[in-house]
Structure 1
Amino acid sequence: MTNIDPIPARLAFLKAASTIELKQQWRDLFETAPPPFNRRYLESRLAYRIQELAYGGLKPETLRRLEQLGEDLDGGNRKKSRIRTDLMPIAGTRLIREWQGTEQVVTVTQDGFEWQGRPYRSISALARAITGTRWNGWVFFGLKNHRSRA
């Protein structure tokens, strides 16, 4: 008699489950309230958790190695690790954007950005300071087309 692995069936169920069912599974598997993210996020995290509980997660030494590699790459700065360095303009670059008839000049620094003598870590926070409304800073300054994914 062969043992049938129930995990593939549980994973397939996620695609057919209602959002209410997904949120209940989240409560059961994570023992916390589900986050307010979209369905795709819930499905992927639940799929990972189901497999992690059934087959085991990453080994502690693997987790330590990944943490070490991350620290080596970004000097331990968790915020900086989220910014892809190949997308970040070179320090010293000037970003120029006209906003409501006024030219706005932003300088890229080693730690982020500078506008009107004030430092900003986030280009989106800077765009918000200029406009008074929420903007994706990369789109605002024309560094990323809002219709395509980088």
Structure 2
Amino acid sequence: MGKGKFGEGDRLETLPSYSSPLVTQDGKKISFAQLKGKGLVLFWYPKAGTAVCTKEACQFRDDYSKFAELNIEVLGISSDTPEANAAWAQKERLPFSLISDHNNTLRTELGVKNNLLGLAPGRQTFVMDTSGTCILSYTNSLNGKAHVEEALKAARKAVGKPPS
């Protein structure tokens, strides 16, 4: 796995930042290593509070209980500050953590590319099974809702539940 090549079949534990602290919107520090044994959805959004990002995050919010029932943790990630993420999470009542990747370390390690001719940060969703193996890498810059639908399908498949 190299820059831009993280995808289906790759494992989170191979990332250089696997054990590094990630800062949430409320200042807490977590790491992928601490989430070992749980399924995981990582969704990159370009900018807190923008239209498509809000639609995507609110769809994850509305379907959050479906992910929780499958023992899947949802994490939103952007280069926004923890303060910007906190204000957005509070306004939209988001029940999951938002990670500030202000130096784009995770974005680079996972190869999340820019969109819109390289002018804006990209939108990409990864789903990891309980072993930390990527089972979905999905990109669609303009349809945030599709990210949630695809993530839920992959999460159900990962735990052997049929689609509903």
Range of TM-score over shorter length? under 0.3
With normalisation by structure 1, the TM-score equals 0.21
- Which has the higher Rg, Structure 1 or Structure 2? 1
Q: In proportion to residue count, which structure has more helix?
A: 1
Q: In proportion to residue count, which structure has more strand?
A: 2
With normalisation by structure 2, the TM-score equals 0.20
Q: Which has the higher contact order (CA 8 A, sep 6+)?
A: 2
